[in-house]
Amino acid sequence: MIVDIHGQEFTVTAALAEHVRRRLRFVLTRHSDRIQRVAVRVGDENGPRGGVDKYCRVQVHLRDARVAMVEDVGVDMYAAIDRAAERVGRVVVKHLDRAHPVRGAMRHFVRPARNRHEPVIPGHHQGDFT
């Protein structure tokens, strides 16, 4: 799974990059064979002024499905990454389930009812009313 991490008006430290990789690996490993790449953008909209402005945008490019995209904003960058990773894991599952609606369909297939106590008469076909 290729994880691409960029900071926009924000310096991505080695510890922050490792935190992003660890959280995404934990959430997305189960579906890693269906993921082409993951793009993560972290940033600080207000810069040094502070406030609730640190964001984490995660885009997961899936095979045979739409791109899953999540954004989270908060005061703490690590908390925003944690929330975005958790949410993107749920969104990926939802996109993959929608992309393959036939998976699991046989589990819900109902066979036609048949009366097992009805005797079989030779030469008489089921459904003949004559």
Q: What is the per-residue pLDDT for 128? A: 52
Q: What is the per-residue pLDDT for 16? A: 95
Domain-located, residue 129: no
Domain-located, residue 8: yes
Instruction: Enumerate residues 6+ apart whose C-beta is below 8 A from 61.
Output: 35, 36, 37, 38, 39, 67
Record the tokens describing residue 114, joined without a space.
């048949």
Domain-located, residue 117: no
Instruction: Enumerate residues 6+ apart whose C-beta is below 8 A from 96.
Output: 31, 34, 62, 65
How far is Cα 103 from Cα 130, in angstroms, rounded to an integer? 42
Q: What is the per-residue pLDDT for 64? A: 82
Q: Which domain holds residue 62?
A: 2-100
Strands, E assignment, 1-130: 2-8, 35-44, 54-62, 68-74
Burial of 127 (0-12, 13-18, 19+ CB in 10 A): exposed
pLDDT along the chain (130 residues), means of 10: 88 94 94 92 80 88 88 92 95 84 51 51 57
Phi, psi of 94 (to 5 degrees): -65, -45
Domain-located, residue 83: yes
Domain-located, residue 106: no
CATH number of the domain encompassing residue 16: 3.30.160.100
Domain-located, residue 58: yes
Specify whether the CB–CB gap between 82 and 23 falls below 8 A.
yes
Domain-located, residue 130: no
Domain-located, residue 32: yes
pTM for this entry: 0.71
How many folded domains does the chain comprise?
A: 1
